[in-house]
Amino acid sequence: MVLSGRTAHGTVNLTTTTDANGHYEFGNVPEGKYTVSILVPNGYHEGESIVGNHTGDVMNATTIVNVTLGKDAKANDYNFTVVPL
């Protein structure tokens, strides 16, 4: 999982991995506008992207753009599916 974006203090680029159940979390993310994306693992192809409980637009099956986070925002359920080949 990759989170990238711009804040009042500059550019943010964070990465994390999902747990065994596919859950992921980015902690202490400053206010800003972000893109969330995945790298599809070998042996899979992309499925669909699902925008969570905050703002955002599906750009394609691996990317959600325009995720705007305010102070102390809790953004949940930005989901991506991958399908075995």
Write down the domain spans for the chain: 2-84
Mean pLDDT, the chain, whole residue set:
91
Q: Dump pLDDT digits (tens) for 52-61.
A: 998 999 999 9
What is the average pLDDT across 35-46? 93
Quick one: pLDDT band at residue 62, thresholds 50, 70, 90?
very high
Quick one: pLDDT band at residue 7, thresholds 50, 70, 90?
confident
Q: In angstroms, what CA-CA distances link 76 with 34, 44, 84?
A: 14, 24, 25
The reported pLDDT for the residue numbered 54 is 85
What is the average pLDDT across 28-38? 91
